[in-house]
Chains A and B, each alone.
Chain A
């Protein structure tokens, strides 16, 4: 296209781009439903996808339902299976309850006996000995290892104490990074490079680990990105997560709509959801808020605090029957009084 022609394709002044963006995301929502029937079972991904994921993003949920972090490794170890595997041992979060097959409490002796699952400890790349020493270190209990059996001396016979210690021990993290989640190893088909996938999103801790390439760590947790990198990065993450989810469903939505939604959510320097606790609940207009949700709450608040509705938005003006201030409604015609009388005279 010739350069001078570009003007023909610019947005028009006043265009209600917000509404168009909302429609562009809202309209295919119904299509996502139908698609599942045709495409389900083809490739099941571990993470939340489709409409639930979109809702989660747009709502600005503090934690994604299925946090995932892709961790790429430093170039020198990325090609080595052993070294990548070693990284898993370092990172993967293993809770006691996930490796224990059976727990026995001996209240009379004040002892707890753990029987570890050989399969699980192997998968977690730990040994009974390391588990036992971890318990001694974290809780200060005396431990005895016999094969896969660990005996812990609690030092009291109070059944209540023993039981509460059992819960604490079972919930404790015995290996890896708290918040990293379970980490698995993957291999890139093209580059043959090994990388890690963690079912957690604690990128603040992960990024500093030796061997992790800090420039190539990607998470789907928008708030984790916001905390570590700030609001601009979070904005980009919202856009790319929305785009990724839509692409998976093979729904084409222009990035302009997605970035407008992300910009709206982050325009105030933090992340706001679109619902009644976010953008809609913080609108300047009392009437617009009252017409949306929690009608009475907003009217009462407005009365006590003497709010003024300046009638600048769409909803308010629809309510009172005035022209809406978007699109052609943004344009106003003014005429000078003198000019008016001049035309009258001419006649």
Chain B
């Protein structure tokens, strides 16, 4: 069969002639199976509509279930029905044309004024100032709607009332579908074209249905329940309804029933046709299943998140993929992923046989070692599973052009993904590494771009199947090339948490390791030489670390803790912290990437993170309650600071009550007081932070909590304040202090009505270490609950924002001239970003 790629798709309305030709079977019996369990001829599951049971032969094309595409049938309605989705179109045409001369209500002169008889070009927009542009068409349509008299024959236009979806009235007389058809069929193609209608392919009379197309059984397969009972598809049910009414209407017509009965049945037929197309039509009660649930008819199959478009076409199910729980492994490189043996032995990679590699292929096929060949696909597309018994036979037939599917081996390029895929680093390419165990293993450093943790997260893995796909994945998607985020150019793959503590300590002045330790640390990173000895058999930890720096690297930067200098590949000054080895605006990584490239950077991240983790393990690092025990000095400071603040606020409140408080410029008195109080409370919180920092620095004793804060490994000083001193102000969603609950504007009955004091409004003076009293605990819960609700609400909104944005912008790409174009080749930007620079590299430029 000759195949071509789809070049374009033209839409139109089906011509009744075509419908008749397409519907190969005229269906007459409103039922499915007879008593013997066979499909009734002329019924809704007629075997000429195609077959779905294996073994049966289609009576139309003679093919079996697998290759029969299915064939349409038709129901010939004894009275026509309007296609409910096109009611508005018919109304527009009826409104715009004269019932007397059947022409457009405007004369040629007026038509020319509204842009002439040219087909409406969506780009033919008329700039219309404030409200933006309006299509010529809509202006003309409005005129046609309002016009009272035909400009050609002068006939008075009769008022036509339209009510959704299919009701048309003239002077309270309800127009019958055939009458509407008579009207619109008299309108000429030329007049329709002026209205923009593609008359050639969408004559309005075709919108009134005489012959209803019945989809093949493939579209509405019946399922057999466990009990052996057959259950029909909802669409089949709906079609049975239509046929039943159609039959009844026919009987009544033949029997010469009174007009009122005929009209009622006709109306019912229209109802069934309407709900067949769309069971959510407004003003129409939905057709229901026996259980009372609304049926899913044609429209419902297409629309929405679970509809054909979004569920089956925009997103598709794939083979060659795997999913399991993830866990960490520091011995897996940044650009590797550990794949469990059970998965690796099922996933396959195609091996394309040519005349040059056929010998190798044959050897591989016969080998009993690990990468076994699971399937062989011959040139004609036949897939054969390789089993012990047919190996020899397959070997004989093996020829160039065949494809073998072999098991996954170390080094195969695979794609690794975690949902929600919010940015491009959510899917990255890794090299497979087959490992024992049942989980995917990744390096801790690549958890951040996936936003993964290891509390049970699962991830998906895909094996690219073509050489092109593999090449693209390797060149464009390797995780080692995704160290910088295209959002702002910051580092997104770097050392985490304890590793940063390790680096911070390891690069500190005056930290030494023994020779054994140095050898251990270096060997872990794959370095087999020692730095210069510092003193009596000891090595400076910093020198050991320096061994990992790329040779000849020169780098200087300012960190929070002072100057860092790397000279000729050796760290000579300063300590590495979060800003130089972790994620964020890490200038060191940017320098390495700029001077040595991604491979060297990857090597550095992998080896250094491994070494500093090992160092912190050697050194020992633990965090306990003892870090938060207050000494006398801090207890006193806390008392004093809180007392001072409380006094100040008390005075503010007294002033306010006495009317002595002066309002801030631009605020009412009350909100001025509120702002002043909040300012004081913020001030005391910041003061507490500074006080802790100072006290701990003075004490000189090693406090691991403070250590983590200053290296940037985890936590900030605010967390320490909350643990050691006080929790501070609990906020509501609106950002203000807590002031509601009871009618007297207080949160709890233990608070005086109108109490403005910090405690009454959710300022917590106790710490996590000291413990919260019941009121404080309540206030803390108010804050937590608020943020939890806020989070839930905004996640939904943020997800929808992302969907809308990506949908609107997804076609944009950078053209050869660095301009940005959309799918229709419209110019969006003349030069991307104004400077053509990739945002991923914008921070690298800051270096020099």
Contacts and interface: CB of A to CB of B under 8 A. Distances in A.
B798 A32 contact: yes
A259 B198 contact: no
B437 interface: no
A22 B9 contact: no
Contacts of A44: 678, 734-736
Interface stretch (B28-36, B103-111, B547-555, B824-832): B824-832
B837 interface: yes
Contact of A264 (B132, B133, B809): B809
B810 interface: yes
- For chain A, what secondary structure do more than half of its interface residues adopt (helix, strand, loop), or is it mixed? helix
Given A16-B813, A306-B200, A33 B794 contact: yes
B196 A15 contact: no
A270 B85 CA distance: 32
A312 B825 CA distance: 9
A167 interface: no
Given A23-B424, A267-B828, A284-B823, A313 B9 contact: no
A30 B795 contact: yes
Most chain B CB neighbours (cut-off 10 Å) among A185, A296, A300, A311: A296
B303 A295 contact: yes
B10 A306 contact: yes
Contacts of B825: 312
A328 B813 CA distance: 11
Contacts of A11: 814, 818, 832-833, 836-838
B27 interface: no
A155 interface: no
A37 B197 CA distance: 55
A37 B422 contact: no
Interface stretch (A51-59, A137-145, A156-164): A51-59
B809 A41 contact: no
B302 interface: yes
B841 interface: yes
Given A44-B736, A256-B839, A55 B278 contact: no
A1 B844 contact: yes
- What class of interface size applies to chain A in its complex with B? 35 or more
A33 B791 contact: yes
Interface string A32-58: 111011101110100000011011001
Contact of B808 (A256, A263, A279, A307): A279
B827 A267 contact: yes
B72 to A, nearest CB: 18
B6 A311 contact: yes
B804 A274 contact: yes
Given A12-B814, A267-B826, A305-B197, A261 B809 contact: yes
A309 B823 contact: no
B309 A28 contact: no
A218 interface: no
A136 B732 CA distance: 46
Interface in B203-252: none
A186 interface: yes
Contacts of A197: 666
B423 interface: yes
Contacts of B472: 328
A327 B477 CA distance: 12
B638 interface: no
B86 A300 contact: yes
B488 A280 contact: no
A251 B665 CA distance: 31
A280 B813 contact: no
B299 interface: yes
Contacts of A186: 665-666
B310 interface: yes
Interface string B286-320: 00000000000001001110010110011000000
A257 B813 contact: no
B270 interface: no
B179 interface: no
A189 to B, nearest CB: 12
B804 A257 contact: no
Interface in B648-682: 665-667, 678, 682
Contacts of B5: 322
Nearest to B489: A254
Contacts of B454: none
Most chain A CB neighbours (cut-off 10 Å) among B89, B304, B735: B735
B11 A306 contact: yes
A255 B487 CA distance: 9
A147 interface: no
Contact of A314 (B736, B797, B811): B811
Interface stretch (A105-113, A172-180, A286-294, A335-343): A286-294
Interface in A160-205: 184-187, 197
Contact of A58 (B10, B682, B805): B805
A326 B665 contact: no
A270 B133 contact: yes
B680 to A, nearest CB: 13
Contacts of A263: 820, 828-829
Nearest to B794: A33
B797 A55 contact: yes
A272 B826 CA distance: 15
B12 interface: yes
A22 B809 contact: yes
B167 interface: no
A296 B85 contact: yes
Contacts of B120: 305
Interface string B1-30: 000011111111100000000000000000
Contacts of A291: 309-310, 313-314
B163 to A, nearest CB: 18
A21 interface: yes
Contacts of A55: 797, 801
Given A254-B839, A260-B820, A267-B828, A304 B197 contact: yes
B842 to A, nearest CB: 6
Contacts of B836: 10-11
Contacts of B812: 16-19, 21, 260, 264, 326
A227 B289 CA distance: 54
B804 A30 contact: no
Interface string A310-324: 111111001110100
Most chain A CB neighbours (cut-off 10 Å) among B307, B718, B818, B833: B833
Interface in A76-93: none
A101 interface: no
Most chain B CB neighbours (cut-off 10 Å) among A25, A271, A325: A25
Given A32-B794, A304-B197, A326 B811 contact: yes
B256 interface: no
A306 B202 contact: yes
A292 B810 CA distance: 12
Most chain B CB neighbours (cut-off 10 Å) among A29, A38, A328: A29
B486 interface: yes
A307 B838 CA distance: 37
B815 interface: yes
B423 A24 contact: yes
A330 interface: yes
Contact of B839 (A33, A257, A330): A257
Contacts of A304: 13, 86, 89, 197-198, 202
A265 B798 CA distance: 19
A284 B823 CA distance: 8
B798 A260 contact: no
B710 interface: no
Nearest to B303: A295
A62 to B, nearest CB: 10
Interface in B771-787: 783, 787
Contact of B11 (A32, A268, A303): A303
Given A21-B805, A54-B801, 4 more contacts: A9-B837, A15-B813, A24-B487, A38-B718
14 contacts: A1-B847, A1-B848, A9-B845, A24-B839, A36-B790, A41-B736, A55-B797, A260-B832, A267-B828, A274-B805, A304-B86, A304-B202, A312-B823, A312-B824
